[in-house]
A and B are shown apart, each in its own frame.
Chain A
Amino acid sequence: AQSVTQLGSHVSVSEGALVLLRCNYSSSVPPYLFWYVQYPNQGLQLLLKYTSAATLVKGINGFEAEFKKSETSFHLTKPSAHMSDAAEYFCAVSPNTGGFKTIFGAGTRLFVKA
């Protein structure tokens, strides 16, 4: 069975500081991994995805994530936070062989202080 754990329901950083949002997954088959962002009262927007190509994945808005199989992690980072990055971030996993179910983590709310 697949599962996703996001460490920290809330993360607060200062503008210009490093953003690090943590995600660990479990999957019995090679997974696809995703990070989505959700702004208030909106749907989800894909930030980036890992589909078994390069382990370091670059996404939109300066975000990137690194797939580490040995640590079953897919942490999201951004070198310098901007006020507009304040939102809810979701890590998700889906199998790349068989099954059609995407499992989302509980989310991490990112606060950016001026």
Chain B
Amino acid sequence: DAGVTQSPTHLIKTRGQQVTLRCSPISGHKSVSWYQQVLGQGPQFIFQYYEKEERGRGNFPDRFSARQFPNYSSELNVNALLLGDSALYLCASSPGARQETQYFGPGTRLLVL
């Protein structure tokens, strides 16, 4: 079975632009979580979605938003990009709502110039 997939793998944007990152969970998994990993740091929780509803939100500004589709794939949107948004964005899926076991995708590396 395919693991968690994310697209694109790399992205370069300029300040003020908007970006959409995509994630497809493992087949049968209903929960998707998003994390931001700045270089040299651990991943920071952004959102969790389960059954198309937001179940958790980290300490990120409203410029960050996400949604989950009926097929459980998910998009993360970031508006008005700042230089500090440059990071590896990781998506993780899990079978249920609890983050007991998460399976991570390879990430999307975003560079904001």
Contact = CB atoms under 8 A, between A and B. Distances in A.
Interface stretch (B66-74, B76-84, B97-105): B97-105
A12 to B, nearest CB: 17
B48 A101 contact: yes
Main secondary structure of the interface of B (DSSP, over half): loop
Contacts of A90: 42-43
A90 to B, nearest CB: 5
A46 to B, nearest CB: 7
Interface in A8-39: 32, 36
Pick the most buried of A4, A46, A101, A107: most chain B CB atoms within 10 A of its CB: A101
Given A32-B100, A96-B98, A101 B56 contact: yes
Interface in A55-107: 90, 92, 94, 96, 99-107
Interface residues of B, number: 27
A103 B103 contact: no
B42 A99 contact: no
A107 B35 CA distance: 15
B90 A43 contact: yes
A103 B33 CA distance: 12
Nearest to B58: A101
A102 B99 contact: yes
Contact of A100 (B42, B56, B90, B101): B56
A104 B42 contact: yes
A44 B104 contact: yes
Contacts of A96: 98, 100
Interface of A: 4, 32, 36, 42-46, 49, 51, 90, 92, 94, 96, 99-107
Given A4-B42, A43-B4, 14 more contacts: A32-B98, A32-B99, A36-B104, A42-B107, A44-B104, A46-B101, A46-B102, A94-B99, A100-B99, A101-B45, A101-B99, A102-B45, A103-B45, A104-B43
